[in-house]
């Protein structure tokens, strides 16, 4: 039983660590100024594969040059895309882009205002995890599993600790009862001795 408990503790600890690791990659990056986007098409393969998680950093558009990859708002539906810059029209504030896996350039240029930033690095396949935990029902499943794992790791120790505290609290009460019982027994013994002494004295008087 102890061996199984150790195995379970190790397994649950690893799972909790993985969840924390993913949370740091997803949430901690935002603190550092990155925005995360999942690659959902193969237009930038082999640079970025489907399912990769891109970490995009906001930059000054004046620093973007031909050959840079940019992440931008593609249309009015707020679809986000990442393509490579093939030409810069500074006068009209437009970037002309192309998916490196596509044969043709993109049909519409990207206005400077629509640029979100520049991809700085990517984590392979983490985008699948990000999509799952950031949207229902995956979000609710992740929260539920996280709570269950935390309880599984810490609850048994809390129960054992509580049980020990209860036992420690009960010990003085039991000792008090024992002391009271001993005192009562001693009092009764003294009463019996007195009665015996009195009966002996009466018997002596009657004998005379």
123-164 pLDDT tens trace: 898 888 777 776 688 667 767 777 776 776 676 667 767 777
For residues 86 and 120, state if they share a domain.
yes
Written as one string, the DSSP assignment of 35-90 is EEEE--SSTTTTTS-TT-EEEEE---GGG--TT-EEEEE-STT--EEEEEEEEEET
For residues 161 and 94, state if they share a domain.
no
Residue-range definition of the domain harbouring residue 94: 2-135
Is the bond into 133 cis (omega within 30 degrees of 0)?
Answer: no
Domain membership flag for residue 44: yes
Task: Report the C-alpha gap between 185 and 198 in whole angstroms.
Answer: 20
For residues 29 and 93, state if they share a domain.
yes
Q: How many secondary structure helices (H) and strands (E) does the chain include? A: 4, 7
Domain membership flag for residue 146: no
- Helix (H, G, I), strand (E, B), or coil: what is residue 108? coil
Judged against a pLDDT cut of 90, whether residue 9 lies above it is answered with no
**Angle of helix 138-207 relative to helix 126-134, nearest 10 degrees?**
70
How does pLDDT run across 38-93, given as a tens digit for each residue? 999 999 999 999 999 999 999 999 999 999 999 999 888 889 999 999 999 999 99
Percent pLDDT > 70 in the chain is 67
8 Å CB contact between 37 and 71: yes
Judged against a pLDDT cut of 60, whether residue 207 lies above it is answered with no
For residues 29 and 114, state if they share a domain.
yes
Predicted TM-score of the model (pTM): 0.60
8 Å CB contact between 83 and 106: yes
Which tokens go with 165? 């505290």
At 115, the pLDDT band (50, 70, 90 cuts) reads: very high
């Amino acid at each position: 039983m102890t061996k199984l408990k150790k195995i379970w503790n190790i397994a649950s600890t690893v799972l909790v660590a993985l969840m924390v690791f993913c949370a740091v990659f997803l949430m901690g990056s935002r603190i550092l100024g990155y925005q995360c986007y999942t690659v959902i098409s193969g237009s930038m393969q082999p640079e970025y594969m489907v399912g990769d998680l891109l970490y995009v950093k906001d930059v000054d558009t004046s620093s973007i040059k031909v050959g840079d990859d940019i992440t931008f708002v593609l249309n009015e539906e707020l679809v986000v895309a990442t393509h490579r810059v093939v030409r810069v029209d500074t006068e009209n504030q437009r970037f002309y882009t192309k998916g490196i896996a596509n044969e043709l350039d993109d049909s519409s240029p990207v206005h400077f205002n629509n640029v979100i930033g520049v991809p700085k690095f990517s984590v392979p396949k983490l985008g699948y995890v990000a999509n799952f935990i950031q949207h229902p029902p995956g979000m609710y499943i992740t929260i539920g599993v996280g709570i269950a794992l935390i309880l599984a790791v810490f609850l048994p120790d809390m129960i054992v600790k509580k049980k020990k505290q209860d036992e420690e609290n009960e010990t003085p009460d039991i000792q008090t009862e024992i002391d009271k019982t001993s005192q009562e027994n001693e009092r009764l013994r003294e009463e019996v001795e007195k009665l015996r002494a009195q009966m002996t004295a009466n018997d002596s008087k009657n004998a005379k």
